[in-house]
Structure 1
Amino acid sequence: MQFWKLYKIPLLLTCVSFFFYCFFAYDLIRTDYTKLILSYSLLWLVFIILLKYAKDNIQFLTTIAFIFRAVFVLAIPNLSQDFYRFIWDGRMILEGLNPYLYTPESFIQTQELPIAQAEELYAGMGPLNGSHFTNYPPINQLCFVIAGLFSGHSILGSAIVLRLLVITADFGTLVFGKRLLKKLDIPAKNIFWYILNPFIIIELTGNLHFEGVMIFFLVWSLYLLHSGKLKWAALIFALSISVKLIPVLFLPLLFGYFKKNKNNEILKQVQNDESFKGIDINKLISFYSIIGITTLILFAPFYDSEFINNYAQTVGLWFQNFEFNASVYYIAREIGYLFRGYNEIAIIGKVLPALVFLLVLGLSFYKRQITTKTLLMNMLFAFTFYLFLSTTVHPWYIATLLILSVFTNYKFPLVWSFVIILSYLAYINLNKADKTENLWIIAIEYVIVYGVFVWELFQQKRIKRKKH
């Protein structure tokens, strides 16, 4: 009876959330926009209230976070088709075929079906995905192979295996995320802005996006880096890159972490000479070398004379061909239409990544020495710039931004993880003649995100002024 009095509201909220997650997993149709928005909004409302009432009960929040994930175990993703390609790649490797050298479409056209359920998988992934070479790095491919090993003839079975891998990665993120937060003197409960977030549960566990696995390795690596275990940190960082290439963006930011200074936590533990304020060249070279060599070794089994060209061509599509839910790019595109009369994505898609690179370099050399907290904030801003300047921003891309924000005072990624649901409305015109994104909906999303972002920048400046 006492237990019920103490946990009555959290338990009721948990039951409500459970019901909505069941709806998302087994009943929701992607094109039913009204139900999608309403159910997601209600889930978010319950999520916020849950954190309010149970914020200090880490065990309870952990338990329900994984109960909510368990809801999706037997479900086929209904908001994304990417998992069909995951299954295809894994089964290709098990058949001794290099997935980087063949497109699914090439097999379907010749009716040479190399794997079980080939036609079903191709129909599921769609012709756009099936006409391009795979872009998933080797550790990601290993996950796909594991799914094929345990379930080589069942799409649902493969989805279950993939989902269990994603859930396991989330558990790892929880463990190392809490440890890093404690070492940084940040409340450990902050990790639940990520772990319990409906966006993360639906996009990663529900829709089977492997950003969660990449994030696990990234957080683990950052924990090791802060603890002074450089070689292990570099090795795990390479594994993160080998799930998704996103962490490559952060490599220049780590440069400042190897500057000799008494305020640099890592150097307190790994070197005695704190008087010379320069770059620790040996540790710098060692760290980057381990990352580079490990990444090359992981890619080596797939190497072929055509591999580099195919892979570069596929990655390039995200900058010079594909466009979805963008912000700055869409403004630049409209300017191109105004002055040139056609879409300048081929040019804009080269200029924007160059700007991102310059901004990341600026962050890398902005301060002479950095702490772990500064590094995490720089990573947050670097990836924010990347997303703001991207031609394609799928919902699950926000996951990396969200985990980084957990270690900072910035909450705009949290707001974005809520309003990102609007991107699913972008193709509300899909059944109409023009089949274009609804730019008004995208505008609403980015007005909110940019507004909160700018407001927080000014707020942080005010706080710094008061401190000084």
Structure 2
Amino acid sequence: MTVTPIRVGWLILSSALFVLLAYTLQRTQFAGLLGLYFLAVWGYSLRVNSLPDTSTHPDRFLMAAAVLFRVLLLLAPPNLSDDYARFIWDGRLLIHGFNPYLYLPRSLVSSNLAEAANLTPDLFARLNSPDYFTVYPPLNQAFFGLAAWLGGDNLTASVIWLRVPILLAELGTIFLLPKLLQRLGRNPDLACLYTLNPLVILELTGNVHFEGVVIFFCIGAVWMLKEIKANSVNGAPEMSSLDVDSNLGNQAPEMTSLQTDSGTGARFPEMLSLDAPPANQRPKSPGGRIRALISSAILLGLAVSTKLLPLLGLPLLIRYLGWKRGLLYSTLVGIITGLLFLPFTSVELVQNVASSINLYFQKFEFNASVYYLIREVGYWLMGYNVIQTVGHWLPVVTLGGIGWLAFRARTLTYGIRLLLSLTLYFALATTVHPWYCTLLVAVSPFTPFRYPLVWSALIWISYATYQTEDYRENLWLTAAEYIAVLAVGLAEWWRYRQSKPSAMNQIGKKYIG
């Protein structure tokens, strides 16, 4: 572990910035939020741009720093988000024996049930969507219930207990992500792109968003997939179902191999390796492969049961695992998710969750990109907001694009397809909160693209909306955010397409700082 005065100075400065941002500022104080955050991003930029091009072991000082930054926020109030209020509301319903999917908060606030479940007027006043049924999946509800039970009537204590599973998941990611990168033949220090990212630290641990739990489960699922070996034909060596060009090794910290269907007759003609096993390592037995497949599906099922978004990755996995294994894998994920939903199952659950998701796409608007352009065209042509119509079609276009990436974009690696799928989803979304971007940051180390890091820096300006009581967005700031991200993304894509596979590891590392 290398400790230098410069590193110690960066650690102290960054710690102070995170503490100030988390403990002292409200989201209405935009100038202070912006200034301190950009200072933190500047320090992050200097640190990740000084990472070595190759490394055999993760930097333990940086891993310890990532842990420290998160632990410092354990007692912080989630000043930048009020989602925690709905988490505790649902949790209190759950621990008092009521199904949180069946009740609208506004219909309960003055009822006897609210008194029985300790659903106080103060807690109700903190809710940001009291007229919508909850949409949080069952594992999330379990976390909510545990926090409400342990916190009791104390709102602050409940918030801290909400943060504990997120913090534990983030610590797991700090430990597992470099190991996964290392087993991919990549620089394990690339994990710092995620673990030291200010947006990730402040929004997940600081503001109590469960994307941190989702990311940990997804990384665990990918870790287990490396154990699955697919026997190829024609005497070709056994490979992992997500195979890598072993010629890259540690000399390719920025890029996994670009593989195309070479017509060799392999069962999985296009594969991105999670781990080319050493020569002295015996291949996994069929039983071992099945256990790994089931374990991975369980972990992804837990991710889906925390947030539904990982479902977008299933078409990509079907493409790489092959139809037989892919459908089996997807079925297992569905079974795990269904079992966790089982205690809440009713006709009303399906109707209520579907209605809230439908309203989400048709009513909520925040920090959007493509949708805002369509909305302005709609005002110009139709004279009114077209979200009621467009909101139905944007998810359809998103699913079509992901299907194309999964089954038609044959020259792209799995990591790039996943990154592009998430980018497409958020580009067409009507609502893009800052913490949504953390998922893109988590995928970035597995690709040559760094535009998610630029986005993670600029999406913070969306907090300018909260300066006004009516939450009026400054569309000039929104346009600046997306124009900058688009410019960097297109530049990286152009360089990616121009580069030869052997040189692709040189793409995109220095776009911040």
Q: TM-score, normalised by structure 1?
A: 0.89
Indicate whether 1:453 and 2:455 are aligned: no
- The DSSP-based 3-state class of the residue aligned with 1:227 is coil
1:130 equivalent in structure 2: 130
SS in 2 for 1:100: helix
Give 2:217's aligned amino acid: F
C-alpha change, 1:97 and 1:340, in structure 2 (3 Å) is: same
**Residue 377 of structure 2 is aligned to residue 332 of structure 1:** no
Match of 2:436 among 380, 397, 411: 397
Closer, same or farther: CA 256–151 of 1 in aligned 2, 3 Å: same
Q: Please give the root-mean-square deviation of Cα atoms over the aligned residues, in Å.
A: 2.0
CA contact (8 A) 2:166 2:213 kept: yes
Give the number of equivalent residue pairs.
436
Q: Shift of the alpha carbon at 1:409?
A: 0.6
Aligned 8 A contact 1:116 1:152 in 2: no
Structure-2 residue corresponding to 1:377: 416
In the TM superposition, residue 117 of structure 1 has moved relative to its aligned partner by: 5.4
Greater helix percent: which structure?
A: 1
- Give the letter for the 2:108 counterpart: F
Structure 1 residue ranges without an equivalent (≥5): 260-278
Find the residue that maps to 1:209 and give its secondary structure.
coil
Q: Residues 467, 25 of structure 1: CA spacing in aligned structure 2 closer, same or farther, 3 A cutoff?
A: closer
Residue 94 of structure 2 corresponds to: 93
- CA apart distance, 1:321: 1.0
Match of 1:60 in 2: 61
- Contact 2:28 / 2:466 at 8 angstroms: preserved in 1? no
Mapped to 2, the partners of 1:192 and 1:102 lie a distance apart of 42
SS at match of 1:219: helix
Q: Corresponding residue for 1:266?
A: none
Distance in 2 (alpha carbons) for counterparts of 1:332 and 1:454: 21
Distance 2:499 2:307 in 1: 35
Task: Report matched runs for 1:233-312 at 5 Å.
Answer: 233-259=296-322, 279=323, 281=324, 283-312=325-354
Aligned with 2:475 (options 439, 456, 459): 439
Quote the Cα distance in structure 2 between the aligned partners of 1:145 and 1:233. Answer: 26
Q: Which residue of 2 aligns with 1:276?
A: none
2:358 counterpart of 1:356 = no
Which protein has greater RCO, CA pairs closer than 8 Å, 6+ apart? 2
Q: Equivalent residue of 2:102, what SS?
A: coil
CA distance in 2, matches of 1:51, 1:330: 33
In 2, distance between residues paired with 1:401 and 1:41? Answer: 19
Q: Which residue of 2 aligns with 1:224?
A: 224
Counterpart residue identity of residue 363, structure 2: N
2:158 equivalent in structure 1:
158
Give the equivalent residue in structure 1 for 2:43.
46
Give, in whole Å, the separation in 2 of the partners of 1:376 and 1:224. Answer: 16
Query: Paired residue for 2:20, among 5, 14, 23?
Result: 23
Could you say which residue in structure 2 is the equivalent of 1:320? 362
Task: Give the SS at the match of 1:106.
Answer: helix
- Deviation, structure 1 residue 465: 7.5
Q: 1:149 to 1:427 in 2, by over 3 A?
A: closer
Q: CA deviation at 1:308?
A: 0.3
SS at match of 1:306: helix
Residue 327 of structure 1 aligns with an amino acid whose one-letter code is S
Q: Secondary structure at the match of 1:131?
A: coil
**Alpha carbons 1:179, 1:223 under 8 Å: kept:** no
13-22 or 110-119: bigger deviation:
110-119
Q: CA deviation at 1:41?
A: 0.5
Contact 2:163 2:205 in 1 (8 A): yes
| Contact kept in structure 2, 1:356 and 1:389, CA below 8 Å | yes
Question: How far 1:7 moved relative to its partner?
Answer: 1.5
Deviation string, structure 1 residues 188-239 (Cα, Å, up to 9, x no partner):
1111111111111100011000000011101110111122121111111111
- Whether the 8 Å CA contact 1:29–1:78 is kept in 2: the answer is yes
Q: How much has 1:353 moved relative to structure 2?
A: 0.9
**Residue 186 (structure 2) aligns with:** 186
User: Aligned partners of 2:457, 2:153: CA distance in 1, in Å?
Assistant: 37
Q: Per-residue CA shift, 1:137-171, capped at 9, x if unaligned?
A: 01111111121221111111111111121111011
Measured in 2, the distance between the counterparts of 1:181 and 1:386 equals 25
Aligned equivalent of 2:206: 206
Could you tell me how far 1:29 is from its partner in structure 2? 2.0
Q: What displacement does 1:13 show?
A: 1.4
CA drift of 1:48 comes to: 2.3
What is residue 120 of structure 1 aligned with on the other side?
122
In 2, are the aligned partners of 1:200 and 1:399 still within 8 Å (CA)?
yes
Superposition deviation, residue 392 in structure 1? 0.6
Aligned-partner SS, 1:359: helix
- Runs of 4+ deviating beyond 6 Å: 54-57, 465-468
Q: Deviations over 1:311-344 (max 9, x none)?
A: 0011122211101000000000011111110001
What is the alpha-carbon distance in structure 1 between the residues aligned to residue 3 and residue 152 of structure 2? 47
d(CA) in 1 for partners of 2:502 and 2:340?
49
Following the alignment from structure 1 to structure 2, what is the Cα–Cα distance between the partners of residues 387 and 224? 27
Identity percentage over the alignment?
A: 37
For residues 123 and 49 of structure 1, do their structure 2 counterparts lie closer, same or farther at Cα, with a shift above 3 Å needed? same
Q: State the 1:38 CA deviation.
A: 0.3
Partners of 2:318 and 2:327 within 8 A in 1: no
Offset of 1:431 from its aligned partner? 3.7
Normalising to structure 2: TM-score of the pair? 0.81
TM-superposition CA deviations, 1:259-291 (whole Å, max 9, x none)? 3xxxxxxxxxxxxxxxxxxx4x2x233212211
Partner of 1:177: 177
Q: Is the 8 A contact 2:27 2:466 kept in 1?
A: no
**Amino acid in structure 2 at the alignment position of 1:240:** A
CA deviations over 1:345-398 (Å, ceiling 9, x no partner): 011111111111111110111256x9xx82221111001000001111011110
Return the letter of the residue paired with 1:16. L
In structure 2, how many angstroms separate the alpha carbons of the residues matched to 1:121 and 1:449? 37
Q: Are the equivalent residues in 1 in contact too, given 2:434–2:459 (CA < 8 A)?
A: yes
* Partners of 2:119 and 2:346 in 1: CA distance: 27
Tell me the distance in 2 between the aligned counterparts of 1:184 and 1:253.
18
8 A contact 2:169–2:216 mirrored in 1? yes
Counterpart residue identity of residue 244, structure 1: K
